[in-house]
C-alpha cells in the first residue's frame, strides 16, 4: 500500500525529460537568435569600416593635394624674383635706348610749335624753338642758315651744325663722323 500515493516514476521521468527537451530547444533558439543578432551587428559595423586600400588611396590623394599646394607656394617667390629680375633688365635696356640716354651723350632734342624738328630745313626764321639738353631746356629762335644770306621769304634755314671730329681727329667736313 504505500506505493499507491506516489506518482508513477516513469511518468515523472517522462515529464521531466519533456521539460528538459523543451528548455534545451529554447536555449538553442535563444543562442541562435543571439548569434544572428551579433552577426548582424558585426556586419553593420563592418560595412561602416573603410577598406585599408581605400584609406590609403584617400590619404594619398590628400597628400598629393597638399604637396601640389606646397610646391605652388614655393614657386611663387621664385617666380616673383624672376619677374623682378626680368623687369630690372628691361628697365636697363629702356634706359640704354631712351632719348634721355642720347641727351647724356651730348645730343639735344629740338622742338618747335608742331613737335620735334629733325631737319635744319624745318627751321624758319623767327620760329620759336625749345632745345632739350640732358640737364634741362633752353629757348631759342630760328635764324637764317649760316652762309645763305638773308631770308626774305621766311623759308630760310636755321643754324647749321658743323660735323664733329672723330677720335682720330679727322674733320668730316660737315658729315657725320664714324662712331667707331
Spell out the per-residue pLDDT of the chain, length 180, in tens. 566 778 888 888 999 999 999 999 999 999 999 999 999 999 999 888 888 899 999 999 999 999 999 999 988 998 899 999 999 999 999 988 888 888 888 889 999 999 999 999 999 999 999 999 989 999 999 998 776 554 444 444 444 444 444 444 444 444 555 555
Smallest CA-to-CA distance from 127 within 93, 153, 167, 155 is with 155
**61 and 104 part of one domain:** no
Q: Is residue 85 a part of any domain in this protein? A: no
Average pLDDT, the chain: 83
Q: Is residue 58 a part of any domain in this protein? A: yes
Q: Is residue 88 a part of any domain in this protein? A: no
Q: Is residue 14 a part of any domain in this protein? A: yes
Q: Which three cell numbers stand for residue 138?
A: 633752353
Domain residue limits at 26: 10-72
Amino acid at each position: 500500500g504505500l506505493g499507491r500515493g506516489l506518482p508513477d516514476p516513469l511518468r515523472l521521468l517522462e515529464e521531466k525529460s519533456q521539460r528538459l527537451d523543451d528548455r534545451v530547444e529554447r536555449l538553442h533558439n535563444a543562442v541562435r537568435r543571439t548569434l544572428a543578432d551579433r552577426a548582424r551587428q558585426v556586419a553593420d559595423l563592418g560595412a561602416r569600416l573603410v577598406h585599408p586600400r581605400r584609406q590609403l588611396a584617400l590619404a594619398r590623394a590628400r597628400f598629393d593635394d597638399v604637396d601640389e599646394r606646397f610646391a605652388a607656394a614655393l614657386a611663387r617667390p621664385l617666380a616673383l624674383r624672376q619677374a623682378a629680375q626680368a623687369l630690372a633688365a628691361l628697365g636697363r635696356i629702356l634706359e640704354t635706348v631712351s632719348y634721355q640716354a642720347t641727351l647724356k651723350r651730348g645730343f639735344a632734342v629740338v622742338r618747335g610749335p608742331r613737335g620735334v624738328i629733325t631737319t635744319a630745313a624745318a627751321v624758319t626764321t623767327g620760329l620759336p624753338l625749345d632745345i632739350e639738353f640732358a640737364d634741362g631746356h633752353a629757348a631759342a629762335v630760328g635764324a637764317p642758315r649760316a652762309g645763305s644770306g638773308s631770308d626774305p621769304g621766311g623759308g630760310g634755314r636755321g643754324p647749321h651744325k658743323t660735323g664733329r671730329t672723330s677720335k682720330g681727329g679727322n674733320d668730316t667736313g660737315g658729315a657725320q663722323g664714324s662712331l667707331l
